[in-house]
Amino acid sequence: MTEIIVEAAPSPFRFDPASTALVLIDMQRDFVEPGGFGESLGNDVSILQAVVPPLQAVLADARERGLTVIHTREGHRPDLSDCPPAKLMRGAPSMRIGDPGPKGRILVRGEYGHDIIDDLAPLPGEVVIDKPGKGSFYATGLDDLLQASGITSLIVTGVTTEVCVHTTVREANDRGYECLVLSDCVGSYFPEFQKAALAMISAQGGIFGWVAPSPDYLSALT
Ligand code: TIU
């Protein structure tokens, strides 16, 4: 066993790379690029671009050292049978889930906009989890996959911090996984939510995880 210790909030995060996965949550065109779901909700998606360079460095490092890499994508079947009406009808977006947009049907599997951005495209052999909800565990095989692979710790990245990242970390925490969230590799459309969402994770003695910037995580590994 190799124990890596990362300086993190609220305390050092300890993990063994052999039982750890890097998780990239929903780095899809639909959230990160114009013309997709994120923009249809009224967001300026350009703010999420800041996540890409540090996340590319973390992903390259994980690939080099053979860490398990898991990508997730939020989206629905083309017939929307896995999209609850409550989700479909929520709010007043400029385009609803399933509507035709400039990058294909909004948040629908198989469409160009639903896929992961080129800069972080999965390599053959990397797991891609398609999820209908905000959390990565709900209605997916992620828990079974992690258990079968002996994974007990997750390095969590992706978008958006207070929505799919938070939901996933909360779900993971309840299932017994230890999560380190990389603060510069997660992004929100709302700077004030980014700050609060990160603080919530590590407050109260690390109520559902740890938080550290990616340079601290990478330097702990070398
Ligand atoms: N809208 C928003 O902030 N996020 C989502 O709808 N999904 C994810 O966070 N992936």
Span 6-25, pLDDT tens digits: 999 999 999 999 999 999 99
pLDDT of residue 86: 98
Measured distance CA(75)–CA(55) in Å, rounded = 22
pLDDT at 35 over 90: yes
Contact 177, 143 (CB under 8 A): no
Give the nearest ligand 1 atom to 74 CA: 10
ipTM topping 0.95? yes
Identify any residues that bridge with 13 across adjacent strands, giving them in sequence order: 6
Q: What is the pLDDT of residues 128-184, one digit of tens each?
A: 999 999 999 999 999 999 999 999 999 999 999 999 999 999 999 999 999 999 999
Rg (CA), the chain: 17
DSSP state of 123: P
pLDDT of residue 1: 87
Contact 157, 20 (CB under 8 A): no
Please list, in sequence order, all residues whose beta carbon lies within 8 angstroms of the beta carbon of residue 123, skipping any fewer than 6 positions away.
Answer: 63, 69
193: phi then psi, degrees, rounded to nearest 5: -70, -40
Q: What is the 3-state secondary structure (H, E, C) of 191-203?
A: HHHHHHHHHHHHH
Question: CA of 213: how far to CAs of 120, 129, 138, in Å?
Answer: 19, 25, 27
Contact 48, 37 (CB under 8 A): no
| Residue 87 annotated to the active site | no
147: phi then psi, degrees, rounded to nearest 5: -65, -40
pLDDT of residue 73: 99
Q: Which of 83, 103, 115, 131 is catalytic?
A: 131
| b/e map 116-141, b = 16+ CB within 10 Å | bbeebebeeebbebbbbbbbbbeebe
| Residue 130 annotated to the active site | no
- Mutate which of 30, 47, 72, 74 for ligand 1 pocket (most atoms within 8 A of beta carbon): 74
Span from the CA of 189 to the centroid of ligand 1 (angstroms): 9
Q: What is the pLDDT of residues 57-101, one digit of tens each?
A: 999 999 999 999 999 999 999 999 999 999 999 999 999 999 999
Please report where in the chains the tokens 């992620």 appear, as a residue: 142
Give the nearest ligand 1 atom to 25 CA: 10
Measured distance CA(114)–CA(112) in Å, rounded = 5
Tokens of 80: 């929307």
pLDDT at 30 over 90: yes
pLDDT of residue 168: 99
| Residue 164 annotated to the active site | yes
CA triple 96-169-208, angle to 5 deg: 140
